[in-house]
Amino acid sequence: MYLVGQEEIDAVAKVIRSKALFRYSIGDECDRFEARYAAYLDVKHFALAASGSNAIAAALAALGLGPGDEVIIPAHTYMATATSVLAVGAIPVIVDINETLTLDPIALEDAIGPRTRAVIPVHMWGTACDMEAIMAVAARHKLLVIEDACQGVGGSYRGRKFGSIGHAGCFSFNYYKNMTSGEGGGVAINDDDTAERVRCAIDPCHFYWQGRAEGVKPFVANGARASEITGALLNIQLDRLDGMVGAMRHERDTILSRTQSLGNLGLTPAPLNSREDDCGTQVLYTLPSAEVAERFTSLFPSVVAGKTGRHNYTEWDQVLMGEGAAHPALNPFNMSQNAECRRAYSRDMCARSLEILNRIVMIPTHPQHGASEIDDIVHNISAAAHVALTDLSAEEVDFRTTAPLEVQKFDLSTTP
């Protein structure tokens, strides 16, 4: 959560006082947000859900993915990307990332098999995937593309908003995301019939409240609809979004510009696919080795990308164990339709990704960092780099002791 204040309090209080907490035919905050956010993304439809996980599963179901299908996902993403694939009965195929911390388009193409029907590129840590290359691969192989923009709310790729480029885009409004309602999510989509299926996957009672489009057959799904409190919060947060993202991108670029000379020591910026347009929520540096990266993070409040818990495939216990559902008969790994899908995983299967992840350090930005805080951050990055990458000791450099405002937004090593 970046900025929440009196405006959000007033909006929630208004909903509670009106007693219009239910979205269909009672309140209008959810409808208003969906229309506004669809316009913001430049898509035809946006459907609110209870979480980003619900959103991904709803998009997959709406696009017809299920048993017998493989869905390619990156080795570095929150585990919900994988579990959402399993939730619809399909099988996730895990492939390497590259130095941008996002899906490697070359690894994507190499991993496509006869059962592959879709790919989920993830705009991880607010940085852009190489969508031009990914969409080209998908077109050649007739793959569906479901953008996971859960960590990239407010970001763009070469002028197009995350989530508006693929066949569907999925978002999270969790406490830790760029725009928050505590929990929440949603799906962006352009096709009218698929949008109706998304709404049914989110809430199978949707048809009873708002009517059914001609020719769209309803189906059973678990309900995951949003409340008017969610909509009210998001309408205020949307007004803040561009300012927050712009401030973080400015801070990221300022830090990178002012630490450019540290590349001579071995602290080099990680490559970015759309630096001008992404979210700027993290400053990413590549270091020569995992040992040096660990040393750097012991000196400066930052985290090694490979130490971010459930964001790495090696920590997706249920997936690695083959426990794809509570009941064995519903476990996609046991389904006969998936017998020809690739279902074997190991903790060293994406060793190249692990090597990259363990050399990249991440420094969070914050929209309320002022010039003095950014100056302290730049100074301390330089001091930490000189200790981690030269023969200097920590006692020989001048660390500024005034902690920048929320320089570490949250403990990335333990928080999803």
Distances from the Cα of 213 to the Cα of 62, 67, 188, 197, 247, angstroms: 14, 26, 18, 10, 42
Q: Alpha-carbon distance 383 to 154, whole Å?
A: 32
Beta strands in 167-243 (DSSP E): 168-172, 185-189
Query: Which CATH number does the domain housing residue 226 bear?
Result: 3.40.640.10
295, part of any domain: no
Beta carbons within 8 Å of 375's beta carbon, 6+ residues apart: none
Token pair of 269 as six digits: 């910026």
Q: Evaluate if pTM is beyond 0.85.
A: yes
Question: Nearest-5° angle of CA 280, CA 281, CA 286?
Answer: 80
Nearest to 271 by CA among 256, 288, 250: 256
Q: Alpha-carbon distance 113 to 33, whole Å?
A: 39
364, part of any domain: no
Tell me whether residue 319 is exposed, middle or buried, using C-beta atoms within 10 angstroms of its C-beta: 0 to 12, 13 to 18, 19 or more: buried
91 forms beta bridges with 70
Report pLDDT for 408.
43
* Ramachandran class of 229: left when φ > 0, alpha when ψ lies in -120 to 50, beta otherwise: alpha
Report pLDDT for 87.
98
86, part of any domain: yes
How many CB atoms within 10 Å of residue 349?
Answer: 16
Q: How many domains does the chain have?
A: 1
106, part of any domain: yes
232, part of any domain: yes
Burial of 407-416, coded b for 16+ CB within 10 Å and e otherwise, reads bbeeebeeee
48, part of any domain: yes
* Ramachandran class of 390: left when φ > 0, alpha when ψ lies in -120 to 50, beta otherwise: beta
Structural domain of residue 62, as residue ranges? 6-236+310-321
92, part of any domain: yes
3-state secondary structure of 177: coil
Written as tens digits, the pLDDT of the chain (416 aa) is 899 999 999 999 999 999 999 999 899 999 999 999 999 999 999 999 999 999 999 999 999 999 999 999 999 999 999 999 999 999 999 999 999 999 999 999 999 999 999 999 999 999 999 999 999 999 999 999 999 999 999 999 999 999 999 999 999 999 999 999 999 999 999 999 999 999 999 999 877 777 777 778 889 998 899 999 999 999 999 999 999 999 999 999 999 999 999 999 999 999 999 999 999 999 999 999 999 999 999 999 999 999 999 999 999 999 999 999 999 999 999 999 999 999 999 999 999 999 999 999 999 999 999 999 999 999 999 999 999 999 999 999 999 976 554 444 434 433 33
356, part of any domain: no
